[in-house]
Structure 1
Amino acid sequence: MKVWIPHPTGPDLLGDLPPGVTVEVVEDPARLPSAPAGVRFWVPPFLAGADATALVHELPDLEVVQLLSAGADAWAGRVPDGVTLCDARGVHDPSTAEWVVTAILAQLRGFPTLVRAQARREWAYDEVAPTDEVEGKRVLIVGAGSIGTAVRSRLAPFGVSFTLVARTPRPEQGVHGVGELPALLPEADVVVLLVPLTGQTRGLVDAGFLAAMRDGALLVNAARGPVAETDALVTELRTGRISAALDVTDPEPLPSDHPLWTMPNVLLTPHVAGSVRGLLPRAYRLVGEQVRRFAAGEPLTNAVVDGY
């Protein structure tokens, strides 16, 4: 069978594959290395666009689409019947958790203000001191999956307390349901968004959600831009009542004239939480494991069901 992957370094990262498996590199979906027939397992480019999703319908023997992203929102509902869609759950846990911790620390300790002052060659002690701190904060993690667990483990040494929320409550694990958010939001100092983008989570952070956040709270979005309603977010941030750290926006990329760029209470990064040097080795370890499972007729991991 043929396996298509998007990176020239990928074949060396897959590990040993069964006899009869041919790996070909497809960096550009517009330039294919061979005829589409026989491709049973395809790994699209990381954060691939519409051109890649269109290619899925041109592979007559395709049985598996293995994503390199933790989210499957661009692909859910767009693969043909009979094709298994798998995400890269677990691959992005360390990098995204690091970004979340970094963003929280940076915002609470006033680093964005200090970086701007450095660019002006200004000693800004009086402008920021005393800063806020992480110690003692109450952190609400909305999205209690593997990344949420990774964030919790990395933040725990900072002396914070946690509340976790998931699509389905798990009382035995102390995980609340989404329906409890109106009561939980006023108690949180930091709200971290880590949910996948689905029909249920699109626009989850609306005007009511934001209004329920306590004064001085920090919203951290490491999920997807459309999880938050941008107009409602801008309106609330303009009051200065809350602050935000955003790795994702809607639209994305953010237009240069968008008000989020210049808000002093917003830390903005260009969707880089998962883009680290360790991504490809971790991702292709997963791909190699999945190819070996598929070739052996074993169940695949990380199959996407209902967008999750």
Structure 2
Amino acid sequence: MPERPQALFAMTPENLPLVFPPQVLARLRESVDIDPALVAQDFSAPGVADVLARAEILVTGWGCPRLDAAVLDAAPKLRAVLHSAGSVKGLATPELWRRGIAVSSAAVANAVPVAEYTLAMILLAGKGVFDARDRLRTERAFPGWGLVPGIGNHGRRVGVIGASRIGRKVIELLRPFDLVPTLTDPYVDEAGAAALGVPLLPLDDLLRTSDVVTVHAPETPETRHLIGPRELSLMPDGAVLINTARGGLLDHDALIAELRTGRLSAILDVTDPEPLPAESPLYDLPNAFITPHLAGSQGNEVARLGLAVVAEAERVGAGQALAHGIAPSELERMA
């Protein structure tokens, strides 16, 4: 049996047993030589430096220190960084790619619960569930049987902003339903949209023609306040805006002003700032549904991230290319 490559955990120690519960950890240790009792938060800490010097693989996660030149100088054998979370922007530096170190992320695994949350919110919003629940809670009386005009998911138009991993997963999950998705993304051409099975529209046209708009773009200097007062004004009366990406993609002052008119509704799992200040009107506006950044992996979903890392570690051990490797050119387009 070939010798297992030396590996080192680098993350917040409290998260390790959640991301790598016993069965997942056992499978990881079949592929790599790693000590779950040694978790680096400081690469110069006693005991860490010796292992780092021998490590071929870093298994990173939330809380991993930044991997700058000094850290990499202390890890001369390092050949792969396997990140057990989504974005690597907090830890990755260009020095990794300059040294030929492969980097992968569990973003594809984390996309699953975010897309599931988004699908659930699209369907619930289409049925008018949030307004109906609030009315029932206030009036304490069942309105009686009868058809409710203006709700339903048959033919409802869903505009997806961003063909990110999550945006693509949302499009995939929408297929079994009688919904009509469209896409806007400056990095996708007509052929790419056709491969996803959706029409490609300019942002303004998507906003004008969507009953539900769901945001899955990265926050960059160019996309800051991507949805502002002009964009909100384009959305049709009764439309719903969903954001599970980054709070800064929406101009919250403009959104609050629009919500106060009652013309639109918003479902926000992310806000700007995060968390919202206690005095934010978004807590009390009846057409704003706020959740505390929980669309991503939570509870038993977190182990899916660990399994994604295990699969990548197995590929490294077998001399295969990473399935979810990240190129430096992708960073500017990633969350």
Q: Shorter-chain TM-score: which interval?
A: 0.7 to 0.9
Structure 1 residue 3: deviation in Å? 2.2
Matching residue of 1:4 = 9
Aligned alpha-carbon RMSD (Å): 3.3
Matching residue of 1:34 = 47
Cα distance in 2 for partners of 1:260, 1:89 equals 29
Q: 1:245 to 1:157 in 2, by over 3 A?
A: same
Q: 1:225 to 1:19 in 2, by over 3 A?
A: closer
1:138 to 157, 179, 192: 157
Q: Does the CA-based 8 Å contact 1:188-1:213 persist in structure 2?
A: yes
Q: Does 1:168 align with 2:187?
A: yes
Structure 1 residue 66: deviation in Å? 3.1
CA shift digits 1:243-277 (9 cap, x unpaired) = 11111111112222111111111111111112334
Q: Does the CA-based 8 Å contact 1:117-1:124 persist in structure 2?
A: no
CA shift digits 1:122-169 (9 cap, x unpaired) = 12638x954622221111111223322332233333311111222312
One-letter identity of the residue aligned with 1:102: A
Greater mean deviation of Cα atoms: 115-124 or 146-155: 115-124
- Identity percentage over the alignment? 29
Cα distance in 2 for partners of 1:199, 1:116 equals 37
Cα distance in 2 for partners of 1:3, 1:185 equals 46
One-letter identity of the residue aligned with 1:192: T
2:34 to 1, 22, 31: 22
Structure 1 residue 284: deviation in Å? 1.4
2:87 to 60, 65, 71: 71
Unaligned runs of 5+ in 2: 1-5
Greater mean deviation of Cα atoms: 229-238 or 295-304: 295-304
TM-score w.r.t. length of structure 1:
0.82
TM-score w.r.t. length of structure 2:
0.76
2:112 to 73, 94, 97: 94
Q: 1:27 to 1:109 in 2, by over 3 A?
A: farther
Matching residue of 1:279 = 301
Give the 3-state SS of the residue equivalent to 2:255 in structure 1: helix
Q: Does the CA-based 8 Å contact 2:269-2:291 persist in structure 1?
A: yes
Greater mean deviation of Cα atoms: 54-63 or 293-302: 54-63
Q: 1:220 to 1:77 in 2, by over 3 A?
A: farther
Q: Does the CA-based 8 Å contact 2:215-2:242 persist in structure 1?
A: yes
Give the 3-state SS of the residue equivalent to 1:270 in structure 2: coil
Matching residue of 2:227 = 205
One-letter identity of the residue aligned with 1:104: I
Aligned length: 302
Q: Tell me which structure has the larger Cα radius of gyration.
A: 2
Map residues 269-308 of structure 1 onto 2, 5 A cutoff.
Answer: 269-304=291-326, 305=328, 306-307=330-331, 308=334
Structure 1 residue 68: deviation in Å? 3.1
Q: Does the CA-based 8 Å contact 2:237-2:263 persist in structure 1?
A: yes
Matching residue of 2:269 = 247
Q: Does the CA-based 8 Å contact 1:88-1:302 persist in structure 2?
A: yes
Cα distance in 2 for partners of 1:97, 1:20 equals 31
Structure 1 residue 100: deviation in Å? 0.7
Matching residue of 1:155 = 174
Cα distance in 1 for partners of 2:227, 2:89 equals 17
Give the 3-state SS of the residue equivalent to 1:298 in structure 2: coil
Structure 1 residue 58: deviation in Å? 4.9
One-letter identity of the residue aligned with 1:143: G
Q: Does the CA-based 8 Å contact 1:24-1:33 persist in structure 2?
A: no
Give the 3-state SS of the residue equivalent to 2:36 in structure 1: strand
Cα distance in 1 for partners of 2:125, 2:23 equals 40
Structure 1 residue 192: deviation in Å? 0.8
Greater mean deviation of Cα atoms: 284-293 or 35-44: 35-44
